[in-house]
Chain A
Amino acid sequence: MLVETHSAAQSAFLRRYRRRERLIVYVRWGLLALFLGLWELSARLGWIDPFLLSSPSRMAATAASLFASGELFTHISVTLGETLVGFLLGSLLGIGLAVLLWWSKTLSRILDPYLVILNSLPKIALGPVLIVWMGSGVEAIVTMTLLISVIVTLCTVLGGFNEVSPEKLTLLRSFGASKWQCFCKVVLPGSLPTVVSALKLGIGMSWVGVIVGEFLVSRAGLGYLIVYGGQVFKLDLVMAATAILCVLAALMYFCIAFLEKRLRDKRGETAG
């Protein structure tokens, strides 16, 4: 439909555009390499104390030995598992509750102050209570994660649902649509972008929940490694675990970003 024009000026524009994009990617990676390089260099030259601040090579060595002993996989899978389960449960519950509160204005009004308070309460404060209730196991960690992500998901998604223009609903009702049809045909698809941002927020919150949970109770996981490393003054371990956490969180975020891109393509939001 859209004719691709290929005048000389257009080609020049495209060339400039691609060159700039490439430059941005190079500089991004370059910054990371520079940071790691400087860190390593200053540790070797004794500008900083590698015992306190570690160094990339010492972190890599720590990770390698964890990997060799097979522990690395255990810790990663524990943390990843807890995060995913907590995130999925928190998101499902959050979206489910949002649907319920969208459905019933009265219920939404009744619960409004509680939501506001729960939203501003640092859920971490409930940690000790959770441990008493659920024991110091995975359940407590997953519950903590769920608690942290569910409220933010609920509030964001409900906000998105309520923002859908009433006129679009009127239009659909004039076709004889039921409330459920209104939800499926306008409210949900109309607020999908908000739902996706809620998921992005939720995944970040889930990492927080899992790590805090592991700080409090766990016997395995990256959070456990960080706390343990701190207690025995193995800062290499703390730093290595943190770096692995960074990579995992980034990977998870990119997965969601990828799904978001697919969704936007399908909905024509990237079309010209």
Chain B
Amino acid sequence: MEPLLEFQNISMRYHALSGETDVLENFSLTVEPGEFIALLGPSGCGKSTLLSLAAGLLKPDRGRVLLRGEPIQAPPVHMGYMLQRDHLFPWLTVRQNALLGLQVRGNLTEAAQRRVDALLKSCGLWDFADAFPRQLSGGMRQRAALVRTLAVDPEFLLLDERFSALDAQTRIYLADEVKGILGHDRAALLVSHDISECISMADKVVVLSRRPARIQQVHAIDLEGGPMQRRSDPRFREYFDLLWKELDVHVG
């Protein structure tokens, strides 16, 4: 099977007056279709940079980022990028927010609108489609942001500390929901420094070193089901301890 996303020997360096920062050095990673990968690494090691590269918002200094074998030149059409906060636009209704990506792309077809309506229904937001974000509860806002991301029918998602701004309960609940809605055919690259979150969502946890980020260790997570179910699996604890030590060794 052809890999969906490939980082090939990426090197990346930021330049500023205070000096240069090596963020990535010979970084390589492959994401298969439908694979959910979590990137676990210390803060400032270059995780967001990796996502920006995959989103086509940055160009690597050296190496290539390939989507289905083709170098990424601009933000791919079927890509969903979720930032730490929901960033719903307060002056647009929930539906208008959800249609944003399609509108920007000029893909606002009837079929696409029907898909968004279906998503709003399945996320329990149908009654609030014409409400404004400030009228929604925190959890509903998160779901609205999710609908906006899914509206462009993404084949892969980039989640940058997606859940870290939430309280513990909403975080787990939403993670469960995201997994449920994503299904198994969409790939995702999740950035987090929350070990439990990585284990509960990902098929694979990639532990990164301090800057410049290199891959320290890749752990396949052999757990079934959604985040809730996984958290009650006895092996969850084992994975947790393993990753905890791993991070401790390289970061601490």
Cβ of A186 < 8 Å from any Cβ of B? yes
Q: Report the Cα distance A181→B134, complex, angstroms.
A: 24
Nearest chain B CB to A102's CB is how many angstroms away?
18
Interface contact A171-B105, CB-CB below 8 Å = no
Contact among A2, A171, A186 with B81 in the assembled complex (CB-CB below 8 Å): A171
Contact with B along A230-269 (1 / 0, CB 8 A): 0000000000000000000000000000000000000111
Interface contact B91-A170, CB-CB below 8 Å = no
Interface contact A268-B81, CB-CB below 8 Å = no
By a CB distance below 8 angstroms, the chain B residues around A135 are: none
Cβ of A120 < 8 Å from any Cβ of B? no
CB closest residue in chain B, given A266? B91
Cβ of A173 < 8 Å from any Cβ of B? yes
Cβ of B238 < 8 Å from any Cβ of A? no
Cβ of A22 < 8 Å from any Cβ of B? no
Interface contact A268-B132, CB-CB below 8 Å = yes
Nearest chain B CB to A262's CB is how many angstroms away?
13
Known: A268-B93, A268-B132, A272-B135. Is A176-B85 also a contact (CB below 8 A)?
no
By a CB distance below 8 angstroms, the chain B residues around A171 are: 81, 83, 87
Interface contact B127-A189, CB-CB below 8 Å = no
Cβ of B79 < 8 Å from any Cβ of A? yes
By a CB distance below 8 angstroms, the chain A residues around B40 are: none
Interface contact A185-B100, CB-CB below 8 Å = yes
By a CB distance below 8 angstroms, the chain B residues around A117 are: none
Interface contact A185-B85, CB-CB below 8 Å = no
By a CB distance below 8 angstroms, the chain B residues around A181 are: 104
CB closest residue in chain B, given A272? B135
Q: Report the Cα distance A267→B104, complex, angstroms.
A: 20
Nearest chain B CB to A127's CB is how many angstroms away?
41
Interface contact A167-B87, CB-CB below 8 Å = yes
Interface contact A175-B57, CB-CB below 8 Å = no
| Residues 127-184 of A at the B interface (beta carbon under 8 Å) | 165, 167-168, 170-177, 181
CB closest residue in chain B, given A172? B104
Cβ of B50 < 8 Å from any Cβ of A? no
By a CB distance below 8 angstroms, the chain A residues around B83 are: 167, 170-171
Interface contact B81-A1, CB-CB below 8 Å = no
Interface contact B89-A168, CB-CB below 8 Å = yes
Contact with B along A55-95 (1 / 0, CB 8 A): 00000000000000000000000000000000000000000
Tally A-B pairs: CB < 8 A: 68
By a CB distance below 8 angstroms, the chain A residues around B90 are: 267-269
CB closest residue in chain A, given B133? A268
Cβ of B75 < 8 Å from any Cβ of A? yes
Known: A167-B83, A167-B85, A175-B152. Is A192-B132 also a contact (CB below 8 A)?
no
Interface contact A267-B91, CB-CB below 8 Å = yes
| Residues 209-245 of B at the A interface (beta carbon under 8 Å) | none
Known: A185-B100, A268-B134. Is A170-B75 also a contact (CB below 8 A)?
no
Contact with A along B4-46 (1 / 0, CB 8 A): 0000000000000000000000000000000000000000000
Nearest chain A CB to B99's CB is how many angstroms away?
11
Point out which of A2, A165, A174 has the most chain B C-beta atoms below 10 A from its C-beta.
A174
By a CB distance below 8 angstroms, the chain A residues around B92 are: 189
Contact among B75, B91, B93, B134 with A173 in the assembled complex (CB-CB below 8 Å): B75
Interface contact A1-B135, CB-CB below 8 Å = yes
Known: A1-B135, A171-B81, A268-B134. Is A176-B91 also a contact (CB below 8 A)?
no
Cβ of B63 < 8 Å from any Cβ of A? no
CB closest residue in chain B, given A177? B104
Q: Report the Cα distance A175→B103, complex, angstroms.
A: 9
Cβ of A190 < 8 Å from any Cβ of B? yes
Q: Report the Cα distance A192→B152, complex, angstroms.
A: 27
By a CB distance below 8 angstroms, the chain A residues around B75 are: 173-176
CB closest residue in chain B, given A165? B87
Known: A167-B83, A175-B101, A177-B104. Is A190-B128 also a contact (CB below 8 A)?
no
24 residue pairs of the A-B complex, CB under 8 angstroms, read A1-B128, A2-B135, A165-B87, A168-B89, A170-B81, A171-B87, A172-B100, A172-B104, A173-B75, A174-B57, A174-B81, A175-B75, A175-B101, A177-B104, A185-B100, A186-B89, A190-B89, A267-B132, A268-B131, A268-B132, A269-B90, A271-B134, A271-B135, A272-B135
Q: Which residues of B contact A (CB under 8 A)?
A: 55, 57, 74-75, 77, 79, 81, 83-85, 87, 89-93, 100-101, 103-105, 127-128, 131-132, 134-135, 152
Extra pairs beyond A1-B135, A172-B104 (11, CB < 8 Å): A1-B131, A165-B87, A167-B87, A173-B57, A174-B75, A174-B81, A185-B104, A189-B89, A268-B132, A269-B132, A271-B135
